[in-house]
Amino acid sequence: MLNRLDDMLNFHTQALRVRDQRQQVLASNIANADTPDYKARDLDFRATLEGALKGASMAAGTTLATTTPGHMAGNSGQAADAGLLYRTPAQGSVDGNTVNMDAERAAFADNAVHYEFNLTRLSQQIKGMLAVIQG
């Protein structure tokens, strides 16, 4: 029975995680709009969500070797970049920055609306389950 509940909530839970990750990437692009040679990044939402639903970790990466007992386990830092793609600029800039503020704002707003939708649907599913449980 718990597996059914997990399956029911899994899609919107994973979608929220991927939307959150994308929102952070878009915010980083906006924050670096004036940074010379900054390359705008984005992630393929569909491919990332499909990977998350299949059980692949969104933060899969290379782990660091621990050669002595005092070393702490960690990752190479490339894990945060897993699945990120570079945006193709519509128009080049003199300083090499590929951030298009209009496109970034539109993508940020679109992602925020979809995030709210997933959050609302998840909340509705939980309320529905509570109504069934309470009879």
Q: What is residue 79's predicted lDDT score, i.e. its pLDDT? A: 44
- 84 DSSP β-pair partners: 43
**DSSP secondary structure string for all residues of 79-133:** GGGTTEEEPPPSS--TT-----HHHHHHHHHHHHHHHHHHHHHHHHHHHHHHHHH
Whether 133 shows a pLDDT value over 90: the answer reads no
- Dump pLDDT digits (tens) for 79-99: 455 678 998 888 878 999 999
Nearest Cα residue to 42 out of 110, 121, 120, 118:
110
Stated pTM of the model: 0.75
Identify the three-state secondary structure at position 35: coil
